[in-house]
Structure 1
């Protein structure tokens, strides 16, 4: 996708389709789980080292901004990483001391995107959309924008808002009104 174009979060059915095809592969599920679980860019996931993971948090130095962040890994990612053999310094190891190449990983992900019908055309979905997916899922869970920012590492709240633009507004409305009711009930106000 050319610079300046927008990305889309992946719908649940396409995430599940990707996961189903991933079961037959070795590298693809790792990159997918790292990207969805940490909300980081593909290149940042490729650079993740085993020493960066302390069984709860992943230290990340973002390639694009050089920002250093620590992202809490959800339980699903923690459990997944426990199943991965440690064959080198990097989680996505090419050999004992080097990570896999970005283009090599992109090609492997492309093959699965092609298999599930999201490589091109109207229904095109890009791996960068996994970053949008993570941010949107956090927003849908009611996570504050500043907290989402600590996961994604975005410098500005306006970028977080861009990434969460497709969050479910009905769910947000329900959360807001429920919190309002609870607050008023606790204070005895009508």
Structure 2
């Protein structure tokens, strides 16, 4: 509008003095259990869509690291992982849900997640598009691939793991562990607090 005034196309700027609109960015959250159940029902064992989900949740790694996973990375019933972003080296045991998905997967390449021809690793673009299609079908567009990393961290906290145990799986810094799990921690503490409150009332 100021430019229009400078060009002589307007006499005044109608938006002068109006404060900028500050948009609030929605925080990413873990997938709710009901949507995870729908996803598993939609994507049966043996499909790439199911395998990528189980790998993300089962190992707690970023999608970029998951797509790089190779069959020979499985050692002593766990994944040997070197994170691309941090360079951290981890060994993460394989959970039963992930093992079932691995057992059902076809092996046409050194990569666990492959393209449709089975000749190379699955690209991020391909994986994202395939998962988005499922998300659209089950009404889960608010939750993306990276949200599965939140699921892994939150499930560990809900199981009673401290920050060091969570980080031993996800490879996250203490600050990131707190960031990923702050809502589930608040819920756990609120339940504990209200239980103490109820116990006190019963003792009266």
Instruction: Establish whether TM, by shorter chain, passes 0.5.
Output: yes
Q: After superposition, give the CA deviation of every residue in 1:118-173 in whole Å (9 maximum; x if it has no partner).
A: 22xxxx1111110001100110000111010011111x211101111122546456
Aligned to 1:184: none
Aligned to 2:11: none
Which is higher, the Rg of structure 1 or of structure 2?
2
SS at match of 1:165: helix
Structure 1 segments unaligned to the other structure (5+ residues): 178-190
Distance in structure 2 (CA, Å) of the matches to 1:76 and 1:109? 19
From 64, 77, 82, give the equivalent of 2:103: 82
Q: What is the RMSD of the two structures over their aligned residues, measured on CA atoms? A: 2.3
Structure 2 segments unaligned to the other structure (5+ residues): 1-24, 196-204
Aligned to 2:179: 162
Q: Is 1:19 the counterpart of 2:36 in the alignment?
A: no
Q: After superposition, give the CA deviation of every residue in 1:88-116 in whole Å (9 maximum; x if it has no partner).
A: 10001235662111100110001011111
SS at match of 2:39: helix
Aligned to 1:143: 161
SS at match of 1:32: helix
* Number of residue equivalences: 168
Distance in structure 2 (CA, Å) of the matches to 1:92 and 1:15? 20
How many angstroms does 1:11 deviate by? 0.7
Q: Is 1:46 the counterpart of 2:54 in the alignment?
A: no
- Alignment TM-score, normalising by the size of structure 1: 0.79
How many angstroms does 1:80 deviate by? 2.4
Higher relative contact order (CA 8 A, sep 6+): 1
Aligned to 1:186: none
SS at match of 1:118: coil
Aligned to 2:54: 33
Distance in structure 2 (CA, Å) of the matches to 1:63 and 1:77? 22
